[in-house]
Structures are given as C-alpha cells and as structure tokens.
Structure 1
C-alpha cells in the first residue's frame, strides 16, 4: 500500500473547515454530537479557540488537506485536549 506524505504543523484558523470535516467523519467513533446547528456552532467555537491558542496541531497531506488534528488549549494548570482524530483513509481502514 502506498503511503501518503503527511506533515504536522501548528493549527491556524484557516484549518477550521478541514478540522470540522475530519471531526464530522469521526463523530460516531468519539464522544461528540454534531446533530444540531446549535451543537455544530459550539464545536466551531471550540475549533477557533483551540486553533487560536497556538497549542493545536493539524496533519496535512501533500495537497494541504487536513487529515488529522489535535485540538488543545491551555487550562488553568494544564493543557485541555478537546478532540483528536485522523481521517479514515490515513488510518489504513479505507
């Protein structure tokens, strides 16, 4: 099986659409509910906060598409990790 070239970098607000797409795909496998517009808006706000914190990472393929991420931001005494996921194609499942 050919492996794709994956690069990890700091997440920025420009990655929010790709992060949301991967999160939507992974939602059935992780504890996140995206079944209403209100819940999606909450998740989008978390994505923007975490991307803006400078503590989140994205994995992008050779075309620059987000294929994975770790959303985190500083808490009071520790980092809070909100969500992480890897696109199914990059897990070797598809």
Structure 2
C-alpha cells in the first residue's frame, strides 16, 4: 500500500503536497479547532463533540487540497502517515520551521 518505508521518508512528500500557503493555513486552523473540540469534549463530558473535531480537522484540510492545492489528500493513500504528518506540520508551523 505504501511506497514509504518510514515516516521520515514520507514527510518530505507530505510537505510537497502542502505547498500552497492557504492550504497550510487551513490545515493549521483545522488542527486548532480539533484541539479545542477535543478539550471541550473532555471538559463537558460530551463525546459527541469528537465527531465535530473529526469534521473540523478533515473539513478544513480537504478544502485546502481540493480548492487550493488541487490535489488529492494523502489521507486516502497513506492514512496513518498523513495523520502524523498533520500534527508534525502543525508543530513545525508553531516552531517556524514551515512557513505560515
């Protein structure tokens, strides 16, 4: 299923699929929404908010891919590495390693 032997091999590909600044920003905003919704679900004891977190994260990311990147999200081909890539890119944006 995967042509990547490790996440270390996958991540440069992942970043290449996120060249458009608006797409990266949408991913970042979606990830912030995920964190807030997961926190709210835990704080309020409402697990149904986790569905909102899922919709928020993927919704913002997919808008970035379909309308700005004009590519297919890596989630469809590499779901595990893509999930990790979202959070590594989020952290790299916070650290200034990936341009906002």
TM-score between both structures, scaled by the size of structure 2:
0.32
| Larger proportion of helix | 2
